[in-house]
Amino acid sequence: MIFGDSKAPCAELVVIGDEVVSGLILDRNSQYLGEKIHELGIEVSRITTVGDSASIIANCVKLALERSDWVVLTGGLGATHDDITKSVLLKVFECGLKKDSKVAGMLKERFQARDREVPQSVQSQCEVPEKAEILYNEKGTAPGFKMKQGDSTLFSLPGVPLEMQYLFEKYVAPEMAAQNNKTFLHRLIKTTGLSESDLWTKIGPLQELQKKATIASLPSHLGVRIRISVLADSRQEGESRLDEVEGFLTQKLSSYIYGKDEDEIEEKVGALLQEKSLTLATAESCTGGLIGHLLTQVSGSSDYFKEGFVVYSNAAKINRLQVEPKLIEEFGAVSEPVAQAMAEGVCRVTGADIGVSVTGIAGPSGGSDLKPVGLTYIAVHDRSGTYCKKFIFTHDRIKNKERSAQAALNLVRLRLQGELEK
């Protein structure tokens, strides 16, 4: 229990589906619900995942209703023979079915829009448990249900993520928030270029700050994210505590931080380029086009991403980017002089304001004692000069490519922020 407050209301999730217990699909709904409910200040105490067996589902639902203030079911609301959640609810709540005319109307409209009659198989969706309040589903054919037993409230939602999220946000979250007067807030601070242990050394003692928020680090090969969480009496109070912790971290980590929450480094680079009205060109060897791919994930990137070259062969480096053959002969394609010549060449050839280049050995083959797998040179060039940095990445081919692209975008970011020596 992250907050260990035993008086907090608690919730349980029940996930229904053979396809989940047998590993045929990955259940992402529980993570979504776990996070959203936790944000509302309600502790999720248990998630039970079961197959399409009526007796097991009924048993789980009964126990969950006894133990918890809130029970959220996902799955088993479709119209096929193995969707049995509705019939289980009839047994648990001891009631029959009634016809809901609003659901019937919505289904009719939905199919009319496609010039079709409501198929026989879908008709049964109009029949709902007598004791249920209906959660009207604009995103699909299966309505959700809200049912009460004593002090506990159960929500039954479809398993299709889009429909589940729609109904959760429309019906479930507002009701949970109203019952609980606390607000849970969190903020992610995203860093790259520091290992987890170096990051904590730089941050130093947290002392008083730890009383104001929970601070956790989440490392990956692309960098360390820091998660700040607070449980506050109001949004205003919570935001102010988050701001205080973020201010402290920013002071300690300065330019290692590239963004927060949903920010991606390619968006930060794009925003900086737009702000300064500059254009960028890429010269990629081992990353094979990944940097261009990331840059163009951002809508509007055509404003600043001028052009990219995937110069996988020596000939391409020479013919496309005017890299002098003798540089490759003398130093090898994976070397500082070649990386620099690629970044300079891509600016000269395209007229872009900034050029970034990557040349490295992604692996698993191609390494030697002198030039091991993972050795990568990344260069950034602009009018003021060329900067080149050597890295040795220690992951597999695919992660080495991702790490290289991230490091390249980070160097462009630092150059644009004026924080990269020439």
Q: Is 350 in the site for its own copies (CB under 8 A)?
A: yes
Q: Is 291 in the site for its own copies (CB under 8 A)?
A: yes
Q: How far is the CB of 421 from its own copies (least distance, A)?
A: 29
Contact yes or no for 12/67 (Cβ under 8 A): yes
Among 296, 322, 324, 399, binds its own copies (CB under 8 A): 296
Q: Which of 293, 279, 228, 282 has its CA nearest to residue 257?
A: 228
Question: Please, which residue, 218 or 392, has the CB nearer to its own copies?
Answer: 218
Question: Please, which residue, 14 or 126, has the CB nearer to its own copies?
Answer: 14
Residue 45, SS3 per DSSP? strand
Q: How far is the CB of 402 from its own copies (least distance, A)?
A: 10
Question: Please, which residue, 129 or 308, has the CB nearer to its own copies?
Answer: 308
Among 85, 141, 191, 301, binds its own copies (CB under 8 A): 301
- The span from the CA of 154 to the CA of 265, in Å, is 41
User: Which range of residues in 50-58, 140-148, 383-391, 410-418 is near its own copies by CB under 8 A?
Assistant: 50-58
Question: Please, which residue, 101 or 299, has the CB nearer to its own copies?
Answer: 299
98: left (phi over 0), alpha (psi -120 to 50) or beta: beta
Q: Which of 131, 185, 156 has its CA nearest to residue 13?
A: 156
- Read out DSSP for 259-300? EETT--HHHHHHHHHHHHT--EEEEESTTTTHHHHHHTTSTT
- The span from the CA of 234 to the CA of 62, in Å, is 34
Question: Please, which residue, 50 or 126, has the CB nearer to its own copies?
Answer: 50
Q: How far is the CB of 273 from its own copies (least distance, A)?
A: 13
Question: Two tokens at 111?
Answer: 């199919």
Q: Is 35 in the site for its own copies (CB under 8 A)?
A: yes
- The span from the CA of 371 to the CA of 360, in Å, is 9
CA angle 281, 389, 194 (to 5 degrees): 105
Q: How far is the CB of 353 from its own copies (least distance, A)?
A: 14
Q: How far is the CB of 287 from its own copies (least distance, A)?
A: 7
Among 190, 268, 401, 403, binds its own copies (CB under 8 A): 401
Contact yes or no for 158/58 (Cβ under 8 A): no
Residues within window 168-227 making contact with its own copies, judged by CB under 8 A: 216, 218, 227
Q: Is 302 in the site for its own copies (CB under 8 A)?
A: yes
- Read out DSSP for 174-229? HHHHHH---EEEEEEEEE-SS-HHHHHHHH---TTHHHH-EEEEEEETTEEEEEEE
- The span from the CA of 166 to the CA of 135, in Å, is 10
Q: How far is the CB of 395 from its own copies (least distance, A)?
A: 12
User: Which range of residues in 28-36, 146-154, 163-171, 236-244 is near its own copies by CB under 8 A?
Assistant: 28-36
C-alpha count within 13 angstroms, C-beta hemisphere, residue 160:
16
User: Which range of residues in 124-132, 135-143, 152-160, 305-313 is near its own copies by CB under 8 A?
Assistant: 305-313
Question: Please, which residue, 364 or 385, has the CB nearer to its own copies?
Answer: 364
Q: Is 295 in the site for its own copies (CB under 8 A)?
A: yes
Residues within window 351-390 making contact with its own copies, judged by CB under 8 A: 362-365
Among 8, 43, 125, 147, binds its own copies (CB under 8 A): 43
Q: Is 34 in the site for its own copies (CB under 8 A)?
A: yes
Question: Two tokens at 140?
Answer: 């699909």
Residues within window 228-257 making contact with its own copies, judged by CB under 8 A: none
